Amino acid sequence: EEEKPKWFDNAMRSRIPIDYLPTKRSREIEINRRNEKPLSSKEEEKMIKTESFITAKQSNCFKTASKLKEKSTFDYEANRINIEKKHKEIKRLKMALALGKGKSKQKKDAILLLNKTVLEIGTAVGVLDMSKNEINTKSLLGQVIHATPKKVVEYILQDCPYGTYRKATLQKEDGEFIVFWQNYLPNVVVEYLLKMRVTQSTKELQSYYIDLKSVSASTVSKEAKAEILKLQRYGDKEIDQPWINGELKITSGEYDQSFLTFVAYLNSTKPRSMKTTLAKARTKTKIKSAASKISGTDKKPHVYSSIKDILTSIQEYFHKPDNIDDKKRASFIAKDMQKVPKLTKPERNMLGRMEGLEESLLNNGKRIKGNWKEDVDKFLWNHGGRIWGGFVATIDVSAKKVLAEIFVMDTHEFARRHQEENPGLVRIVRKDLDESRSIHQRVGVKLTALEDRIFDNWFTWKKVKLESGKEAYIIGYVPMKDYPGRGFQKQKEDSVAAYATGVYIVTEVAPNVCKLTRIQSANLNLTLPESLLTRLAKGLLTEANRIQEKYRRNNKIVDKEVRDILVEKMKQNVGLTEEQEKVFEEVAFFFEKEKEDWKHLESPYLGVKMEIKKHTKIGKSKRKKSTFVFGKAEGTVDCSAEEAAAWYFEYCSRERMNFHKEGENPARFEVRKGEEKVNEKVFATVKKMPFPLHKREFVVRQIWWRRTKKTITVAVAPVDKAIDYGGGFGKLVGGKMRSLFNATSTEDASGMPQCKIEILSYIDAGGHIPVHLVNSKIPESLGALSELTNSFKQDEKVDKAELAALTKIIKTVPQHYNDEEKIAVRKGIEFHENCKKDKHFHEIKSPDDRVKVKLVHVDGQSLATGIATTVVDASVEECAASIFYLDSRETKSTAKAYSITDYYIQPVNQHTQYYFTTRSLSKLISLRDWRSKVIWKKEEGSKVVIISSDTPSTVKTHPKKAESILGSAHTVWVLEPLKAIGGVQQSTVTFTAKVDLEGNIPNSIMNIIAPQFLTAVSDLRKKFDKSKEIATHNRLKTIGEMKYLSTVGSDVFKGRFKQPEGTEAVSGGTSAAKTIVKTEKGGIGWGKA
């Protein structure tokens, strides 16, 4: 009792396996040890031999570990047994093995020792060998398998006719198996004829025992002997036929693993030629067996390497190290983090020392040259005579998983990476120390042209809550010399100690996104030039790239997850500080002064309206040069105001960074300021300029504010701050940028969230910039609205909703027409009827064979009239809605295909709208403008007509372009319902158009242009095409009608299709069908396929 430690309480006592509880005999031995009772001379002699045996076996085991080509990733040293601590227990068990005591108690103790050894060592050496390579001795082997005990047993019992480890079951009776195993080694085949019995432990339900005992061939049936002869096909290879008498035990381990232990007596025979063996077997009709009279022994018996190879084959079959690593990390998150011990006083003190390191990074860190090309911010600096390195990276996984990635060190991945980078060097991980959350690690590091270094470090972690409400995890590590408890054993004399101090800070950004910061300094215990130390420190920063790439996910998904967090904050609103309010006032006042003298700017982006205002100066060369410029952009985005503002606020999102890189701009990153405010960020960017101009640098702060219930505003203001880019840019000219982004929520006809966007932008690029360059650059600066629109666009969904709403109006909502509208409709119908009666139309070839086209054109004139007719697989209301909905997303995206360079739509009511277009019909003629008034009207009999006629061009909101010629057009759509086919509605569509291009148009050009106005009919038919559905309906209808056909006697066809003489086969190309033909005079032929 006086020696019982404090931690050995009732809870710990209940966790001790039964096999660990001391027996009466073990208590007597312990009493004798305490009383220093001397051993007998014989026992002492045995003890000395056993100690020598243990030392030799341990040395051999470690030498073997470095030579084995094992796929597993554990390092043997990583979890090596503390032999000194367990010396007494191991000595007794080894002595029992050496003395050959075969009692069940000693066997169980041996298996227990091996299980414990395998548990601590892992799978680094593949098979743990604690046996003696001598004939007629006991073998003790063990390993870890990445599968449950049940699956391992099933695999061992499963037959396998191929590979290096082949198995065949010859007999099965009363739970016993007679099996024939073959192990193919490079120059020999090892055979085992075994009797096998599998039993499940009654005490441990997940444990299995497999008794293995070699048997003579005379004990098996004739069928089994014949099967063995079939399997013995080795060519010139030699064979070995050893005896085995032992046991396999398979017990359950953590993370669905199994511990496999093999305890057996092995007896190897001398290898012999397979040809001789086969000859004897055939002449005497006897099976080769392990009992054959083979005298002598080989210097290097194959039985040991064979057994190890078999156990290795079992391990490789189930080898899934990454799965085990994932389970370990998941267990750490689900269990260890939930029941983590409280921080001890030394742990709190150690983590307290780490608190100033992040501030040191922010204040002193110097960006590494060329780092702006990466997605990771990397820094180096000298502080207090020591070289420090740090990085900041965004990781596409939760903060908890990154904590597990760093802190769970006893993984296959860690060990594999260590062996690749530092082959042959030590790596030890100790955990569960002194009832704390700490971990100890000893790791050897290879240094080019220098002696290897050994780092002994103490790690611990804690969870903290930030002011923003998000969680963060801090992992600190210091040299083991700072640990108050027991450390590692002394290092070897030829190794050099080194020391590392650092911290990881894992900050939550979104549920599955986090920010990882690492800061570290290493003391190599050697005086080196600062340049060399800096180079070594850079190498330690590559860890960020590895973790980032390991967990990298789809950029759009990650951006959305980050935005969603910000959107929720925007919905709750965040108050502005006094300083932020001042920034908003200054930016708003700045643009308030520039309300007048804006000019239209040709927008290169669909759906985005742009305006520009420039301030210019006259340079020395008396050429106009601009110093700064204002820009304005307006548009509609298919998302809420919060989502749009969050997208704009995240200036360095993955999507926006891709746009930045596509423009070949050098740098763009967020400037860290410690714990950031949720509604404010600072960004630095460098813009590329054409030669010979220098690159421009812009440093801005962005602040968002919920101005009203429906409007979110983002203010962008310049910041006077020196930025460290790491060099490599040459001379940078500082520029200034101010912007005001307003997003106001709206809804479309179907209730889909949308918002109106207005961007006011001011750019002072510094110095004097040529006017033509400003004209080309300002649309780029306003291009963020186009990028925003494309990011959220749902064109198909919006158009579908708008069309459904318009279709419903045409079908159900009564319309009232004024006299002007009625006259326009009446004239349109009269025009259509007159064209139908006109006999001067001539049919022309249509690019769509299901559309009939007629055209009349007088040579030398600019006037042409045409009619196009087709059947559309839709109702008249759907067709009418599709024609009248001229402001659809689809129409905008296909405008260029119809030669439309500009258009304007002004709705009047539900059935009338103005439609103005500018078209570039040919490079050989001027632009043409059309000013039309479009009206739809539902006539009797469900017929719908759509009339488009000329209207005066004096509409103030959109005057005619000065460089274009005003054309004339009168078009009529007549839509009439037909009978549905198989539930698919049908409509007859007739389009009549009279177009006057005005001016003298050559016939060749007119003949090309005129049919273009009729292609809308073909496009409408293709849009609603349901040919497959109609064809399916018609086939089913035909099948149904065939049931009612009358039966015709075979005599009617008799002789009619008889194969004539003289037929010959012809090639069917790639077809598998056989084709036979015969041709006759007069164009008559016969064929069969």
CB atoms within 10 A of CB 529: 8
Rounded Cα distance between 930 and 915, Å, is 8
The kind and range of the H/E element at 407 are helix 399-407
- 435 compared with 119, residue with greater pLDDT: 435
Q: Is the confidence at residue 72, as pLDDT, over 50? A: no
Q: What are the beta bridge partners of residue 176?
A: 173, 197
The kind and range of the H/E element at 449 are none
Dihedral of the alpha carbons of 836, 838, 841, 843, in degrees to the nearest 10: 40
Contacts of 457 (CB under 8 A, 6+ apart): 440, 441, 442, 443, 477, 478, 479, 480, 500
- The model's pLDDT over 49-70, given as tens digits with 9 standing for 90+, comes to 544 544 444 444 444 433 433 3
Contacts of 403 (CB under 8 A, 6+ apart): 333, 337, 461, 473, 475, 506
Verify cis geometry, omega within 30 degrees of 0, for the bond prior to 692. Answer: yes
pLDDT value, residue 727: 77
Rounded Cα distance between 637 and 790, Å, is 8
Rounded Cα distance between 782 and 795, Å, is 22
| Mean pLDDT for the stretch of residues 581-591 | 92
- The model's pLDDT over 958-983, given as tens digits with 9 standing for 90+, comes to 676 777 888 888 999 999 999 999 88
Is 385 within 8 Å of 542 (Cβ atoms)?
no
Cite the DSSP H helix spans in 68-103: 87-98
Parallel, antiparallel, or unpaired: how do β-strands 695-706 and 852-857 relate? unpaired
Q: Compute the radius of gyration of the chain from its Cα atoms.
A: 43
CB atoms within 10 A of CB 830: 11
With CA atoms as reference, report the closest residue to 548 among 367, 368, 670, 393: 393
- The model's pLDDT over 751-795, given as tens digits with 9 standing for 90+, comes to 788 899 999 998 887 777 776 777 677 787 788 899 999 999 888
Per-residue DSSP letters for 236-248?
T-EEE--EEEEEE
SS3 per residue for 837-884: HCCCCEEECCCCCCCEEEEEECCCCCEEEEEEEEEECCCHHHHHHHHH
Parallel, antiparallel, or unpaired: how do β-strands 272-273 and 176-184 relate? unpaired
pLDDT value, residue 121: 43
pLDDT band at 837 (very low <50, low <70, confident <90, very high): confident
- In Å, how far are 332, 336, 412, 472, 486 from 341, measured between CA atoms? 13, 9, 26, 18, 19
Backbone angles phi, psi at 565, to 5 degrees: -65, -45
pLDDT value, residue 965: 83
Q: Is the confidence at residue 888, as pLDDT, over 90? A: no
As a whole number of Å, the end-to-end CA separation of the chain is 99
pLDDT value, residue 122: 43
pLDDT value, residue 34: 65
Is 19 within 8 Å of 112 (Cβ atoms)?
yes
pLDDT value, residue 355: 87
Q: What are the beta bridge partners of residue 263?
A: 140, 247
- 95 compared with 841, residue with greater pLDDT: 841
Please give the structure tokens belonging to residue 162: 């191929």
Per-residue DSSP letters for 1-51?
-TT--TT--HHHHHTS-GGGS--HHHHHHHHHHHTTPPPPHHHHHHHHHHH
Task: Kindly report which listed range (35-44, 180-189, 462-471, 689-698) carries the lowest average pLDDT score.
Answer: 35-44
Q: Taking the CA atoms of 396, 398, 401 and 407 in sequence, report the sign of the dihedral they define.
A: positive
Q: Is the confidence at residue 933, as pLDDT, over 90? A: yes
Rounded Cα distance between 573 and 704, Å, is 10
**Which residue has tokens 């501030």?**
359
B/e letters for 499-512, b = 16+ CB within 10 Å, e = fewer, are bbbbbbbbbbbbeb
Parallel, antiparallel, or unpaired: how do β-strands 753-770 and 736-747 relate? antiparallel
SS3 per residue for 417-447: HHHHHCCCCCEEEECCCCCCCCEEEEEEECC
pLDDT band at 613 (very low <50, low <70, confident <90, very high): confident
pLDDT band at 98 (very low <50, low <70, confident <90, very high): very low
pLDDT band at 518 (very low <50, low <70, confident <90, very high): very high
- The model's pLDDT over 258-280, given as tens digits with 9 standing for 90+, comes to 888 888 888 765 444 433 443 34
CB atoms within 10 A of CB 758: 17
Task: Kindly report which listed range (176-180, 838-842, 1007-1011) carries the lowest average pLDDT score.
Answer: 1007-1011
Rounded Cα distance between 916 and 933, Å, is 9
Per-residue DSSP letters for 1035-1048?
HHHHHHHHTTPPP-
Contacts of 322 (CB under 8 A, 6+ apart): 412, 413
pLDDT value, residue 287: 36
With CA atoms as reference, report the closest residue to 456 among 433, 481, 424: 481
pLDDT value, residue 178: 92
Q: Taking the CA atoms of 332, 336, 340 and 345 in sequence, report the sign of the dihedral they define.
A: negative
- In Å, how far are 300, 471, 551, 652, 885 from 509, measured between CA atoms? 62, 9, 15, 14, 44
SS3 per residue for 315-334: HHHCCCHHHHHHHHHHHHHH
| Mean pLDDT for the stretch of residues 299-320 | 83
pLDDT value, residue 51: 45
pLDDT band at 2 (very low <50, low <70, confident <90, very high): low
Parallel, antiparallel, or unpaired: how do β-strands 928-938 and 900-907 relate? unpaired
Rounded Cα distance between 787 and 793, Å, is 10
Please give the structure tokens belonging to residue 376: 């990771």
Contacts of 455 (CB under 8 A, 6+ apart): 441, 442, 443, 444, 445, 479, 498, 499, 500, 522
**Which residue has tokens 């601009």?**
626
SS3 per residue for 330-394: HHHHHHHCCCCCCCCHHHHHHHHCCCCHHHHHHHHCEECCCHHHCCEEEEEEEECCEEEEEEEEE
Parallel, antiparallel, or unpaired: how do β-strands 928-938 and 965-966 relate? parallel
- DSSP state for residue 727 in the 8-state scheme: S
With CA atoms as reference, report the closest residue to 289 among 224, 214, 236, 226: 214
Rounded Cα distance between 948 and 932, Å, is 6
pLDDT value, residue 854: 86
In this structure, the chain runs to a length of: 1089
Q: Is the confidence at residue 458, as pLDDT, over 80? A: yes
The kind and range of the H/E element at 685 are strand 680-687
Q: Is the confidence at residue 1071, as pLDDT, over 60? A: no
pLDDT band at 37 (very low <50, low <70, confident <90, very high): very low
Q: Taking the CA atoms of 181, 149, 144 and 128 in sequence, report the sign of the dihedral they define.
A: negative
Q: What is the mean pLDDT of the chain?
A: 79
- The model's pLDDT over 573-582, given as tens digits with 9 standing for 90+, comes to 888 999 999 9
Rounded Cα distance between 466 and 678, Å, is 12
pLDDT value, residue 110: 59
Rounded Cα distance between 319 and 311, Å, is 12
Rounded Cα distance between 211 and 291, Å, is 19
